[in-house]
Amino acid sequence: MQISTYARYGLRAMVRLALLTDSGEKVASIKKIAENENISVKYLEAIFSTLRKRKYLLSFKGKHGGYQLNKHPNTITAFEIVGLLDGKIAPLNCLVNSEECPYNPQKCTVLSLLKELDHSIKTILGKKLSRI
């Protein structure tokens, strides 16, 4: 499992928005976020479009327009953001859907190790945006 650039940049931008929210900024321009995170504005627009459609962001037009978190940063996890942008988050597909496993799960010699790895990933990515 490797987190894509799309999800990594999305997570960075969402954490930046959480920091801006904590500092009192209501709306942040995409240009400012892109500059702070060294992400192209066009690429960030595509990411934010996905997050807006999934109701994680609000967008505002006009001179003082920009983006704002639609949920409090204490309620959004890194796991949610990466999952929204990348899809399934698991070291192997068989941990998400056992029917995708070509082997007998009762005879899998590494299943317990992989389940432990999966649990660790979910625990680490379970951090709230406000805690990152």
pLDDT at 96 over 90: no
From start to end of the chain, where are the E strands?
57-60, 66-69
Q: What is the mean pLDDT of residues 49-63?
A: 94
pLDDT of residue 88: 82
Q: What is the mean pLDDT of residues 108-118?
A: 85
Q: Global pTM?
A: 0.87
Kindly indicate whether the domain formed by 5-89 is annotated with CATH number 3.40.50.460: no
Q: End-to-end CA distance of the chain, in Å? A: 21
Per the model's pLDDT, the better-predicted residue between 38 and 20 turns out to be 38
pLDDT at 49 over 80: yes
pLDDT of residue 63: 85
pLDDT of residue 104: 67
| CA separation for the pair 44, 37 (Å, rounded) | 10
pLDDT of residue 105: 64
Q: Is the CB of residue 67 less than 8 Å from the CB of residue 57?
A: yes
Q: What is the mean pLDDT of residues 34-39?
A: 96
In whole numbers, what is the pLDDT of the chain averaged over residues? 89
pLDDT of residue 108: 78
| CA separation for the pair 128, 82 (Å, rounded) | 12
Q: What is the mean pLDDT of residues 2-24?
A: 92
Closest CA to 4 of 45, 43, 59: 43
